[in-house]
A and B are shown apart, each in its own frame.
Chain A
Amino acid sequence: METLEQVLTPEEQFQARIDADVRIEPKDWMPEAYRKTLIRQISQHAHSELVGMLPEGNWITRAPSLKRKSILLAKVQDEAGHGLYLYSAAETLGTTRDQMLADLHSGKAKYSSIFNYPTLSWADMGCVGWLVDGAAILNQVPLCRTSYGPYARAMVRVCKEESFHQRQGFEIMQTLCEGAPEQKAMAQEALNRWWWPTLMMFGPKDADSPNTEQSMKWRIKRFTNDELRQKFVDMMVPQAEFLGLTVPDEKVKWNEERQAYDFGEVNWDEFWAVVKGNGLCNQERLQARVSAHEEGAWVREAANAHAAKRAAREAVAA
């Protein structure tokens, strides 16, 4: 009798494992396209953590109280930590952090477009936590069950910290909304600016998302962009109401039949413009990363040179 290995092609065996929800591990055979898709997705995610440090980092030195300063700094530091886990997860697929950073700096690799919007007031720290991290969580929680083991395990840790971030963002908004009129106005103004860009975080409409079908089949992705966007609106509209804020979309309305909120159309021209590099902060965000990398080159070289000298001395001593 023939074994399964003899009957099925490697590709079919791989898909059978995916379908049985067996995790794929670094040493397992995998289709080249699966490997490439994952490298693209995980590195893009890692870059988003790295670039995502900048808009919030923008307010660390101006945080309004010592407690807020401490929480914000810890949060941005968590993002650096997420970047580290994710670069490590991507490295298990045969790429290097240097290569991934080179792709980021050359513009070949993308990061989440949301970070190309500016943070203009303290309330933006609330909106980034509440809305941006809220959207990120919806995108990321399903990734804890994604088919590639190292990515799924990294995401379990990331998601735990993100949900803490989201709560602190909501708490900033709540404090502002319960505060003086100018604080509440600050919160509303920030919501007006962040609402639509966060809806864009779920990516293009399903009809315009070329990678979704294959990613769903490989169980890298478990929900479509539009499904997640709907979930987000359903979750956030009542929270905005609770805060006494108004979502800047006149078409938001509860649909009894669908048991979901109807909402207006995202400005897809703006979405594609920012993806293509024409957001307000695309240039400065990327430049900040390139400068940090270039200005840090001598530090990394010194550390390597010293390590080599030390190893040589220890070899002589032994």
Chain B
Amino acid sequence: MSISERRPWKTVSPARIGTYAFLLVCALFFAMPLFIMLMTSFKTMEEIRSGSIFSLPSAPDLGAWVKAWSAACTGVACDGISVGFWNSVRILIPSVILSVLLGAVNGYALAHWNFRWAGIAFGLLMTGAFIPHQVYVYPLVQLFAWSGTFGTLAAIIAVHVIFGMPVMTLIFRNYFVSIPEEIFKAARMDGAGFWWVFFAIMLPMSTPIMIVAVIWQVTGIWNDFVLGLIFAGRENLPMTVQLNNIVNSQFGEREYNVDMAATILTALVPLVLYFISGRWFVRGIAAGAVKG
């Protein structure tokens, strides 16, 4: 039998049709809600009430988007979800930078500096990763209250940095372990200490894992609801919490188009990040899996 005859995907077979049908159903399953949300957000309330949820908007209208961004009511105030957006940005940027950097330093120390109790330290950190976050909520609230920082931006940033630590440390450690020890030794012979090796040698080599870590943290922190609600305080409530407030405020009629627009706006940051870096994300995970 020749090789060309053995190519099963060239011919239409029942197995092939089945595979495609399955893929199509899956794609529809995930795409349908997005489609409905987008369509609804461009309709007026009049049209939503009268038409099918699957129909295209007769005259696309941006009114709902404008209202969601700048005028929707989140409880008492009616400044739209933009307030939450900027709150989330203020929480996100320092939290991501701090947690990724600390994770990188931790991972590097664990991977290359055989200090005493390194194994135990790593084990404890990993235990932390597997205990549900809810367990920590009450002690942390007490701790922040006692130190007078409860309900501040610093508090919510600290919480994100702390909860990000185990996973960040783990992925950086696994990545740094895959860097040949000889490079580390050579740098030590050249006179480089802990920080020199980290900043001059290790950090420049860690771009792929850095991207993975940033994506991981950005999505996690942006999508967080509970921690933001508890620790951020009224002034700093993140976008997810504001979205919930918009959707669940019960004055008058339910503005489905505004709700949909606000939801898409909230999901936009992780979505954009995935589109830009999906390629890197998969590559980074694969690299870690093989080498770690």
Is this pair of chains taken from one and the same complex? no
A residues contacting B by CB (< 8 A) are none
